Amino acid sequence: MRPVAVIGAGKTAFGAFPELDLRALAVQAGEKCLRTSRVEAGLIESFYLGNFAGPSFVGQNHLAPYISMALGVKGVPATRIEAACASSGSAFYHAWTEVASGLYDLVMVVGVEKMTSQPTARVTEILASAGDLSGEIRAGSTFASLFAMIARRHMYEFGTKKEHLAAVAVKNHAAGALNPDAHMRKNVTLEQALAGKPIAEPLNLYDCSLISDGAAAVILAPLDRASEFTDKPVRVLGIAQASDYVALDQKEDITTFPAVRRASQKAYRMAGVGPDEIEFAELHDCFTIAEIIATEDLGFVKRGCGGPYAMEGHTSLDGQRPINASGGLKAKGHPVGATGVAQICDLVQQIRGEAGPRQVARHSVGLAQNLGGSGATCVVSILGAT
């Protein structure tokens, strides 16, 4: 496998955009991405689309050519990948395999989701289709209630407290407030975060990520050709995708996600780095507890120590290892199918030193962790300066 670089990256703002349909969002991100590189659409040799539930949210399926053709990426393989909330992380992984293997030189990945056109109750129902319909969902679970069970068990096993969850929310809101493209740009205090409207005990409104519209796009190329297309290539140091049971009740232990451990170990090996060398990260904080567990599964801290780790400020913008300097899914927003590629865009921006007031101090090696469902899919990507 040959070294691969991200040579272009572009995102829409995340939020509620009634005036933009799914295709318009995707095209906006794609065109922005093309403009950030010296690549014409006609040069792209393969196209991936990450999308979770376009058919359910807006009625449109067969989305890859639907979007690639509108972007001027014509005739080439155009493939939609669906892996719940890890859809575009997985699309990015597959684009990487094509470039790394030498099959293609220029591969584009777009992630998109248009969620706000549906009422919240219907959104909750659509999201639940990423769980196991034959069991947990039929029994009435939603993703908030699944992660509430995870949080409760984590509290029971390790003494994690609501304050720890709230600390993640406070931190991510603080970063989001500095991000012009974030869905929610407001600071919250620990007191406010603790007093949010209950959603599924122990999770309240501030523990839950946002229902957003948005899209993100990147272009990959072989590292040795990257300088033709950009002055600031960012290298893919390691990447892996892994899987696990969809149903929570099939897992042996719900306080850890084997797919995250597996994907990260593989990605670390490929990158030749360990968790200690990850300077900053974008983690999948669909719920605050998910970020806490991710810091454990990725080896940033020992199992059970993720809560205090966040509470003590180590993962804040000015901490030793900033996590979700973008605002995360919590404040930046979580247009499901866009999230994986958006995380890559956020890493690229930081590595290039272009994150403005959110710029982290050490930014030569960053990690993105994109989770599908309650851990049945995970993609971990490690990016670095060239």
Cα 88 from Cα 52, distance rounded (Å):
8
Q: Which is nearer to a second copy, 56 or 320 (CB)?
A: 56
Of 133 and 195, the one with the shorter C-beta distance to a second copy is 133
List, by residue number, the catalytic residues: 85, 334
The candidate with the shortest Cα–Cα distance to 131, out of 273, 242, 212, 251, is 251
Query: Alpha-carbon distance 93 to 266, whole Å?
Result: 13
Residue 48: phi and psi, rounded to 5, are: -120, 140
Q: Give the residue with the Cβ less far from a second copy, 142 or 349.
A: 142
- Whichever of 90 and 160 has its CB closer to a second copy, that residue is 90
**Beta carbon nearer to a second copy, 143 or 158:** 143
Interacting residues of 59 by C-beta distance below 8 A, sequence separation 6+: none
Quote the least distance from Cβ 373 to a second copy, whole Å. Answer: 5
Do 59 and 184 form a contact (C-beta atoms < 8 A)? no
d(CA 381, CA 357): 24
In whole angstroms, give the CA distance from residue 38 to residue 21.
27
The amino acid at residue 382 is I
Shortest gap between Cβ of 115 and a second copy (angstroms)?
14
Tell me how far, at minimum, the Cβ of 97 lies from a second copy, in Å: 6
Which candidate, 368, 371, 376, places its Cα nearest to that of 96?
Answer: 368
Q: How far is the CB of 381 from a second copy (least distance, A)?
A: 13
**CB closer to a second copy, 237 vs 331:** 237
Shortest distance, position 376 Cβ to a second copy, whole Å: 4
Residue type, 68: S
Measured distance CA(12)–CA(6) in Å, rounded: 18
Is 359:25 a contact under the CB 8 Å cutoff? Answer: no
Enumerate binding residues for a second copy (CB under 8 A). 1, 21, 23, 47, 52-53, 55-56, 58-66, 68-69, 74-84, 90, 93-94, 97-98, 100-103, 126, 129-134, 240-246, 250, 258-259, 262, 372-373, 376-377
In angstroms, what is the minimal distance from the CB of 131 to a second copy?
A: 8
With beta carbons less than 8 A apart as the criterion, state whether 273 and 236 touch.
Answer: no
- For residue 359, the tally of other CB atoms under 10 A from its CB is 16
Q: How much is the CA Rg of the chain, to the nearest whole Å?
A: 19
DSSP letter for each residue of 140-195 = T--HHHHHHHHHHHHHHHH---HHHHHHHHHHHHHHHHT-TT-S------HHHHHT
